[in-house]
Amino acid sequence: MATDDIKHADSPSDPPACTVYYDGNCPLCQREIAFYQRRKGQDAVHWHDVSVSELASSDLDRDEALKRFHIRRPDGSLVSGAQAFAELLKTLPSLRWLGRLLSIPPISWLAELGYRAFLPIRPLLHRFIGQSATRPRNDAT
C-alpha cells in the first residue's frame, strides 16, 4: 500500500490507519501526542505508550521505541524519525498536506537531519517542560 493511500478506520473492527509508539513519560512527547489526539481523524490511530505497555513486536524493542518516534503502517512495516511523523500527519486530515510535504525529497532528508539533531537535546528540554496534567490516550492497555 502506498503511503498516500493510508486507510482510515470507520468502525471499531477496521484496522488502524497506523500504530504510534510514543514515550508517555516524556513531557514533550505527552504534549505532542495530546496535540495529535485532539485532531480530527485521530480515532483511526492506535496509540501505544511504550513507557507503560509492553511491545509484542520482534522488530522493535522498548529501548529503541523510547529513543526514537516510531509508527507501524497498516501493511505492518515500521518507520521511525521524520518519516514516522510524516506518516502520522498524513492520517490526520487537517495536517495531511504537511505529511505529504515532509515525504518529498529533499525535504524528507532535511526533516530527518533536523530530527537527528533534535534527539540529543530532547532530554535537556524535559527540565523546561513540565509534565502534562493528563497523559495522552494509550490504546495498548
> What's 24's domain CATH number?
3.40.30
- Tell whether 131 is covered by a domain: no
How far is 128 from 131, CA to CA, in rounded Å?
10
Runs of H (alpha helix) within the chain: 27-37, 62-67, 82-91, 96-101, 107-118, 122-125
pLDDT digits (tens, 9 = 90+) for 60-83: 999 999 999 999 999 999 999 999
- Look at the chain and report how many structural domains it folds into: 1
| Structure confidence at residue 10 (pLDDT) | 44
- Tell whether 4 is covered by a domain: no
- Tell whether 73 is covered by a domain: yes
- Tell whether 37 is covered by a domain: yes
Domain that holds residue 41: 14-125
DSSP class of residue 18?
E
Closest CA to 28 of 18, 40, 36, 16: 36
Mean pLDDT of the chain: 87
pLDDT digits (tens, 9 = 90+) for 25-59: 888 999 999 999 999 999 999 999 999 988 988 89
- Tell whether 7 is covered by a domain: no
- Tell whether 133 is covered by a domain: no
Residue 125 pLDDT > 60, yes or no?
A: yes
Residues whose CB is less than 8 angstroms from the CB of residue 7 and which lie 6 or more positions away in sequence, other chains included: 1, 14, 15, 17, 74
DSSP class of residue 13?
T
- HSE (side-chain half, CA atoms, 13 Å) at 63: 0
- Tell whether 90 is covered by a domain: yes
Residues 23/119, Cβ–Cβ less than 8 Å:
no
- Nine-digit cell string for 4: 498516500
- Tell whether 57 is covered by a domain: yes
